[in-house]
Amino acid sequence: MKLKRLFKQSGVVPVLEDRMVLITARRSDRWIIPKGYVEKGLSPADSAAKEAFEEAGLVGRVRYKEIGEYRYRKFGKQFSVTVFPFFIETMLDEWDEMHLRERRVVSPGEAFDMLYHDELKAIVSGFFGINRH
């Protein structure tokens, strides 16, 4: 049996007071969190914070203690995403990928209902203390 390579990524749960920010994936209308490959020379947390800036126009502080990990498949590849909390200080009106993605500020409950990945829903519900089954 051949083991498939696992592609490592990191992402953030962007927190704005008692709400969170979601973005759409580039090639679909699925709601996700900012995430991407861990950039060379950056920690997974710092790399995820950079993704929040590029993908969602978010500036803030990332917490270096991970709150979970989820996996997904795309293009026949398996990805593992380590997730960190990110506390938003500024939401830019213009950012790198603003024409490629939609951005929305929602309650944690709304985020739970909108998110596509079940493992990511579990991370968000655990972080915000949402009791959904």
88, two tokens? 């938003």
Do the beta carbons of residue 56 and residue 34 sit within 8 Å? yes
Give me the domains of the chain, ranges plus CATH numbers. Answer: 6-128 (3.90.79.10)
Phi, psi of 29 (to 5 degrees): -100, 20
Query: Distances in Å between the alpha carbon of 81 and those of 6, 9, 93, 118, 131?
Result: 10, 5, 27, 13, 23
1: pLDDT strictly greater than 80 = no
Q: Which of 71, 62, 58 is nearest to 122 (CA)?
A: 71
Cα dihedral 106/108/112/117 (nearest 10)? 90
pLDDT at 100: 95
pTM of the complete model beyond 0.75: yes
pLDDT tens-digit readout, 99-120 = 999 999 999 999 999 998 999 9
52, two tokens? 């929040």
Phi, psi of 121 (to 5 degrees): -55, -40
